[in-house]
Amino acid sequence: MIKNALKFIIAAAIMCGVAFGAVFLASSRSLPFLPDEAPEYSTVENSEETSPEISEELSYAEESSAEESSGTEEPADEAAAFINGAETFAPGSYAPLDRRYSSDTEKTVLIDAPLPAEESAVTAVRMGFIFLEDGRIFDSAFNDITELAAGYAFIGARDKAGHPVFKKGDSYYYYNGENGFAPSNYNVYSDATGFEFDVPVYLCEQLMPIKRYYVKKKKYYNFYGDDGDSYAYGCKEVFAFYPFIENGVERGIACTIKRAHSEDRLVFYSTRFRHSGDSIDNTLSDIYYPPESRGIESIGYFYFCDGYIRVRVKDGKNWEERLMDTGCNLARTLNGYVIAGYSDGCILYERDGKYGFTTNSLNWITTPDLISAHPFTEGLAVVQTETGFGMIDTTGAYVLPPVFEKVTPCSGGVFAAYSSGTGWNLFAKIDKDSQYVPPEESEAGSTEESDFESVEESSEPEESFEEEQ
């Protein structure tokens, strides 16, 4: 018994010695499985008082301080490297463009705007306005309009002239630069887009001389042309006619929503009337269905873009997202993929939680392995890869590398990006030939007020809302 106990004590002593030696060798980098230049690591105890989010922040702070102590002058991360090398404009020295982006005519630039660094500081960028968590509001030139906007509520809609609309009491207004707010002719019936997100100014344009009229007593819409012809009648909603060429003749097609057989249907009308006996009809199709929701996830419905529109097809109990052309024919689609958005001529596809974009001719412009993706707005789309969030144009080229922790969609020609190393940064989409001119070299008074005046003077007469009696 004593011999067995002695053997156990001797074996335990040997094992302790081996363990001590291994720790000593490891600390001196002498073991073959530890490289000589292995980095030093620090740990943070993940107690009940320290959440995973706090742990990540502490780890990032430690890595940053280690880089600073190394004496290198390189940026702490790729986001900082991009910000440091970006073409920069001063607030008010640029004119944001809210049209569809093209790298041939436009560029994105960094704005030297002192945004707060906290991750929660920027709550939204909407139609050119920057909303901060502390209640401040800035316009697209980064003028603080908080006091001017006091009492006005931003409603996320546009009037006939394309102005973003604010509401005060029962009246509507638009921001008019240094002049404050001016009355808007926005009408909730005639100017409704059908969507509940910040629609780009060009998406819902009525490009043909056909107007919609709302009959309040009967609660439905009609479509009438300037020539008095009726193109649609008794609709729950009507949108806009899209012009196209058919056999050398200009035609138009419009999407409406009608209630039929106890369900809503997408009904498409043409500017071309067909005669059949004593009847005249311009209905092209009534077999497709509207989306289940009206947010950005349903972009592509109601309005044609580059010859196509999004529709829902019902096959028994199954639903399928498809694109339809101006002849009301369903376009080809990719097997195994689901359409998650269509805008600016690009289809957003999803499969097994991964995303990718194609042209409407089904050529990939990104690889279909994005972690997440936002549909294109104003020619730019927010995407997420394994390295972070970035922004691409409709060719798939990055205008913002995927190294940020947050990126807002482009709205009103501006967007913002956040990283823990750089804080929030503001960007604008401007004319490619624009060059920064220091304030002392520019002409006095050539900024907001004169620009707004020229826009107003050049605007076409606005349509007046008419109600059918």
Domain ranges of the chain: 1-38, 39-74, 209-331
- Compute CA distances 260 → 264, 266, 289, whole Å: 6, 10, 11
CA dist., res. 242 & res. 259, Å (int): 22
CA dist., res. 199 & res. 206, Å (int): 14
Predicted local confidence at residue 56, as pLDDT: 29
CA dist., res. 132 & res. 124, Å (int): 7
Predicted local confidence at residue 467, as pLDDT: 44
Residues 6+ apart with CB under 8 A from 171: 183
> Checking DSSP bridges between strand 106-111 and strand 88-89, what pairing results, if any?
parallel
Q: Which tokens is 369 given?
A: 């392995």
Residues 6+ apart with CB under 8 A from 414: 96, 111, 125, 128, 130, 140, 426, 427, 428, 429
Can you point out the beta strands (E) in 15-152?
Answer: 88-89, 106-111, 122-126, 129-132, 137-138
Residues 6+ apart with CB under 8 A from 43: none
Predicted local confidence at residue 366, as pLDDT: 97
Q: Could you give the strand order of the β-sheet that contains 338-343, starting from the edge strand earlier in sequence? A: 338-343, 346-351, 354-359
CA dist., res. 270 & res. 243, Å (int): 10
428 and 94 in contact (C-beta within 8 Å)?
yes
CA dist., res. 295 & res. 373, Å (int): 15
> Checking DSSP bridges between strand 372-373 and strand 88-89, what pairing results, if any?
unpaired
CA dist., res. 467 & res. 189, Å (int): 10
Answer positive or negative: Cα dihedral of 79, 80, 81, 83. positive
Residue from 35, 29, 40 nearest 69 by CA? 40
Residue 386 exposed, middle or buried by CB count within 10 Å (0-12, 13-18, 19+):
exposed
Instruction: Please state the length of the chain.
Output: 469
- Compute CA distances 250 → 246, 343, 385, 398, 442, whole Å: 6, 23, 43, 37, 46
Mean pLDDT by 10 residues, the chain (469 residues): 44 45 37 30 29 28 36 62 97 95 97 96 97 97 95 95 96 92 94 94 93 93 91 96 94 95 94 81 95 97 98 93 97 96 98 97 97 98 98 98 98 97 97 85 44 36 39
Helix (H), strand (E) at residue 409: none
DSSP letter string over 320-355? Answer: EEEEEETTSPBPP--TT-EEEEEETTEEEEEETTEE
323 and 308 in contact (C-beta within 8 Å)?
yes
pTM of the model: 0.77
Predicted local confidence at residue 4, as pLDDT: 47
Bridge partners (DSSP) listed for residue 325:
308
386 and 378 in contact (C-beta within 8 Å)?
no
Which own/partner pairs from 216-220 qualify as long-range (CB within 8 Å, at least 24 positions apart)?
216/189, 216/467
324 and 288 in contact (C-beta within 8 Å)?
yes
Predicted local confidence at residue 440, as pLDDT: 66
383 and 374 in contact (C-beta within 8 Å)?
yes
